């Protein structure tokens, strides 16, 4: 499938708060986003609007591109909202609990499917709307849904919005409890560093026949994809054998790749990932965006892959790993 548009916002600037016990790395949205001392408060809907409105470094033509595509009455267009989880923690927490919105209804209103219908209606007329929730690989998993629907000729084009799943204090506490943090004064390379970040990517995919009809400019082609899982007792961990990574590396055609976009940061996971990459591809160039943008959770694989498309050239393998023992890969050719 061909990518004819991709647009993102993501964290770049790192702000350290020495008095916060866990984790020590707190990010802010590029070019003016407001950092907070505990948790990251930019809600998913706000991040999506940043992309649609061209804020914080995003381009201005996303809405125009999608509406032009959905205006073709003879094309079947699908929509996926991939957000890492089925609900967005904290998304409705600032809403007054009135008779109109009783307490027991708040979680349902925070669900991604509700917002998927809302945002799709803003962008045009879609023939299929769904959501995806596969932790950090939600970006790739959403793209995988799009690819399968197009390979089966069910859809001619797909719009996939990938956003982080409402990072909050709850996530910071979970990561801290599992030791996924690092004191600002520490420099021990054995300590796992977990840099939280936020991000959103909106990408438009079209079939070859669709591109010939719309005359949209191809940016890149997703040549192959794979999603897989591994058996591991810790849903936040990765097996020492790298079983999940092995599945998604061997599950795609990697002929002709010139570099690999890895997923993990400086941790034991990164050692496993790096060893497997070296084992399969030898001394190949590796690109990693985690130190720049942090862990953007549901948005990570889409944002990172889009950054590689924007900044690199050639054919590359994009790897992903997520909580719940989920793994992904995509082979992408940049035009």
136 lies in the same domain as 266? no
34 lies in the same domain as 106? yes
On the question of pLDDT at 25 being above 60, the answer is: no
Estimate the share of the chain in helix, then strand, then coil, as percent rounded to the nearest 5: 35, 25, 40
81 lies in the same domain as 180? yes
Instruction: Provide the residue range defining the domain that includes 7.
Output: 2-214
On the question of pLDDT at 29 being above 80, the answer is: no
41 lies in the same domain as 184? yes
What mean pLDDT comes out for the span 60-70?
Answer: 96
The CATH number covering residue 193 comes to: 3.40.47.10
Which of the listed residues 214, 245, 269 is the one where a domain comes to its end? 214
On the question of pLDDT at 167 being above 70, the answer is: no
73 lies in the same domain as 106? yes
Instruction: Pull the structure tokens for residue 308.
Output: 């590689």
Q: How does residue 175 score in pLDDT terms, banded at 50, 70 and 90? A: low
How many separate domains does the chain show? 2
207 lies in the same domain as 230? no
How far is it, in rounded angstroms, from Cα 162 to Cα 143? Answer: 9
What mean pLDDT comes out for the span 91-110?
Answer: 44
pLDDT in tens, 260-294: 999 876 544 567 888 899 999 999 999 988 877 87
196 lies in the same domain as 264? no
Neighbours of 76 (CB within 10 A): 17
pLDDT for residue 23? 44
Are 1 and 222 in contact by the 8 Å Cβ rule? The answer is yes
91 lies in the same domain as 152? yes
- Among residues 258, 233, 268, 262, the alpha carbon closest in space to that of 245 is found at 262
Q: How does residue 215 score in pLDDT terms, banded at 50, 70 and 90? A: very high
Which of the listed residues 191, 214, 237 is the one where a domain comes to its end? 214
197 lies in the same domain as 234? no
Segment holding 36, helix H or strand E: none
85 lies in the same domain as 15? yes
On the question of pLDDT at 186 being above 60, the answer is: no
* 77, β-bridge pairs: 157
42 lies in the same domain as 139? yes
Which of the listed residues 214, 243, 269 is the one where a domain comes to its end? 214
Whole-prediction pTM value?
A: 0.85
134 lies in the same domain as 266? no
- The angle at the Cα of 42, spanning 40 to 43, to the nearest 5 degrees, equals 115
């Amino acid at each position: 499938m061909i990518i004819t548009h991709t647009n993102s916002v993501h964290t770049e600037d790192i702000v350290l708060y020495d008095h916060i016990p866990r984790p020590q790395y707190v990010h802010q949205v590029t070019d003016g986003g407001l950092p907070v001392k505990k948790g990251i408060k930019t809600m998913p809907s706000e991040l999506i609007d940043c992309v649609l409105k061209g804020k914080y470094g995003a381009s201005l033509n996303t809405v125009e591109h999608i509406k032009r595509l959905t205006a073709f009455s003879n094309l079947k267009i699908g929509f996926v909202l991939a957000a890492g989880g089925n609900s967005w923690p904290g998304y409705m927490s600032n809403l007054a609990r009135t008779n109109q919105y009783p307490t027991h209804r708040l979680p349902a209103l925070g669900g991604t499917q509700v917002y998927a219908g809302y945002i799709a209606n803003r962008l045009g007329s879609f023939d299929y709307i769904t959501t995806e929730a596969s932790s950090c690989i939600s970006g790739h998993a959403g793209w995988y849904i799009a690819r399968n629907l197009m390979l089966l000729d069910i859809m001619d084009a797909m719009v996939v919005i990938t956003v982080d799943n409402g990072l909050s204090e709850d996530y910071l506490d979970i990561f801290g409890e599992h030791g996924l943090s690092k004191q600002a004064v520490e420099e021990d390379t054995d300590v796992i560093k977990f840099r939280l970040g936020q991000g959103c990517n909106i990408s438009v995919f079209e079939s070859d026949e669709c591109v010939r009809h719309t005359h949209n400019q191809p940016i890149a082609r997703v040549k192959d994809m794979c999603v897989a899982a591994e058996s591991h007792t810790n849903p936040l961990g990765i097996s020492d054998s790298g079983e999940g990574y092995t599945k998604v590396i061997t599950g795609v055609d990697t002929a002709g790749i010139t570099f690999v976009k890895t997923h993990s940061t400086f941790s034991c996971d990164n050692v496993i990932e790096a060893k497997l990459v070296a084992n399969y591809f030898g001394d190949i160039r590796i690109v990693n965006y985690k130190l720049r943008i942090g862990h953007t959770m549901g948005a990570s694989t889409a944002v990172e892959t889009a950054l590689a498309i924007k900044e690199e050239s050639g054919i590359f393998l994009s790897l992903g790993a997520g909580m719940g023992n989920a793994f992904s890969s995509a082979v992408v050719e940049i035009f």
